[in-house]
Structures are given as C-alpha cells and as structure tokens.
Amino acid sequence: MPSFKTEVPHHLGKEQAVERLRSFLDGVAEKYKDQVSSLDGNWTDNILDFALTTFGFSVTGKLTVEEDVARLDGQLPFAAVAFRGKIEKGIASELERALS
C-alpha cells in the first residue's frame, strides 16, 4: 500500500499537544461525519494508532506527538493514490488547527 506523511510543528510541548490531540479523532468524526463511515483510534502514551474509512477507502496510520512536532505516517489503498496530496494537506490543516 502507498504511504503518506505529514508533519506539523508546534510549541506546546509533548504533554499539552497530546492532550489537545486526544479529542482530535472525535472532532474529525464530527466534522466529516458525511464523509467518514468508520473511525477508530487507540492512544498509547504519545502515539495514536488509527484506522478510518472514507468514500469506501480504508486508511490506517500512526500519529506520533513529540516535543515540538506532530508526525503522521499512514497507508492508503492504491485506488486513493491520486488523492494523496489532498489527504496530506487536509490532515495537516486539521492538525495545525488542533495545535494552534
């Protein structure tokens, strides 16, 4: 499966950034409820493992929150490769909003 990545710098420190992002999935689920049919996530310390289904595509990934950056690495189905840039930008925008 093709991968995608995005990084968002922040000045919050790891603990405060994790606290803000813990509700991130809930916000995504609410904001994109017409586009996301399934969304699951599990936090372990500063790492969120997640899976979602949107427009019939399954996307999986890991969000790692560090002292000054939130880094997301994910996997897309081959059929969604054409949308990789849009997906990366959309996720980065949501992360920036959550961490601002």
Which has more confidence, 26 or 100? 100
Can you give the CATH number for the domain in which 45 is found? 3.30.530.20
pLDDT tens column, 71-87: 999 999 998 888 888 88
pLDDT tens column, 11-34: 999 999 999 999 887 888 888 888
Residue range of the domain that includes 32: 3-99
- What's the rounded Cα separation, in Å, for the pair 90 and 11? 21
In this prediction, residue 32 carries a pLDDT of: 84
CA–CA distance from 35 to each of 54, 57, 63, 93 (Å)?
A: 6, 11, 21, 17
Per the structure, how many domains does the chain have?
A: 1
Question: Using CA of residue 58, residue 61, residue 35, residue 90, what is the dihedral sign?
Answer: negative
